[in-house]
Amino acid sequence: MYSAAVRDHFANPRNTGSIEQPDGQARVDSPVHNDRVDLMIRVQDGRLAEIKYRVLGCVAAIASSSMTSVLATGLTLDEALALTPEQVAEALGGLPEGKLACSVLAPEALRLAIADYRARQP
């Protein structure tokens, strides 16, 4: 049912955890289940130097959070804002139809964390 990349990122999620004194952070709750992504970013020279997250959710949500952090680390903030759930799912080798909704949590949390960062700037 799941691709090799999904199984890998589920078994070994990258960049999990939290950042002490993050530059931006956000929480996204799934409207459908009790799923949640808490995501934090550290910004350096206009780029995402570090992304950490905690995720409560299914295999697809965990793998998508992991892949979002991998794809977005090192990007400029505008590049990261352009990252779509479809790109995350594609990088994971695809997700089953019914699981695409789970892949929106992390990119949405990333967008909100960047907005939080920008709102904090003087």
- Residue 101 CB, shortest distance to ligand FES, in Å, is 7
Nearest residue to 43 via CA among 98, 16, 99, 81: 81
Q: Could you say which of 6, 40, 43, 61 contacts ligand FES (CB under 6 A)? A: 61
Indicate the residue among 77 and 109 with the shorter CB distance to ligand FES: 109
71 binds ligand FES (CB under 6 A): no
38 binds ligand FES (CB under 6 A): no
- Residue 44 CB, shortest distance to ligand FES, in Å, is 31
| 19 contacts 111 by C-beta, under 8 angstroms | no
Residues that bind ligand FES (CB under 6 A): 30, 33, 35, 57-58, 60-61, 99, 102
